[in-house]
Amino acid sequence: GAVVSQHPSWVICKSGTSVKIECRSLDFQATTMFWYRQFPKQSLMLMATSNEGSKATYEQGVEKDKFLINHASLTLSTLTVTSAHPEDSSFYICSASSQFFSGANVLTFGAGSRLTVL
């Protein structure tokens, strides 16, 4: 089945530094990738939608200059948290889709990345 690899699974960084999280589709071409953020005991909140070769579409309230998303190829999307602060500490999870819509089996999630900013 479709596999999405997300790396790193966890990262600790100092306040003010930038952190990059990668999301790779291993055995399919991901035309669309979604980035979510999840705080403890809360739901997944969609941050942005990225389509290969074009600019990401950010959800309302998400700072595009802080959360840089790049989808340069059909198998890789990256989320960079710039100038991270403790309030950015969260669980970030990506999801990849091979086509616009054709049922459940084309939306695959990565295992998530837990970011802690000291």
Partner 1 sequence: AQKITQTQPGMFVQEKEAVTLDCTYDTSDQSYGLFWYKQPSSGEMIFLIYQGSYDEQNATEGRYSLNFQKARKSANLVISASQLGDSAMYFCAMREVYNQGGKLIFGQGTELSVKP
Give the number of residues in contact with partner 1, rule: CB under 8 A: 25
Q: By CB under 8 A, what part of segment 97-116 binds partner 1? A: 97, 100-101, 103-105, 107, 109, 111-112, 114
8 A C-beta contact, residue 32 and residue 96 = yes
Q: In angstroms, what CA-CA distances link 61 with 46, 57, 75, 100, 106?
A: 11, 12, 27, 25, 28
Query: Looking at beta carbons only, is 35 or 88 nearer to partner 1?
Result: 35
d(CA 9, CA 109): 13
Q: By CB under 8 A, what part of segment 5-64 binds partner 1? A: 32, 34, 38, 41-46, 49, 57
d(CA 67, CA 19): 10
H/E stretch holding 39: none
**Minimal distance in Å, beta carbon 96 to partner 1?**
11
**Minimal distance in Å, beta carbon 34 to partner 1?**
6
Binding footprint of partner 1 on the chain (CB under 8 A): 32, 34, 38, 41-46, 49, 57, 91, 93, 95, 97, 100-101, 103-105, 107, 109, 111-112, 114
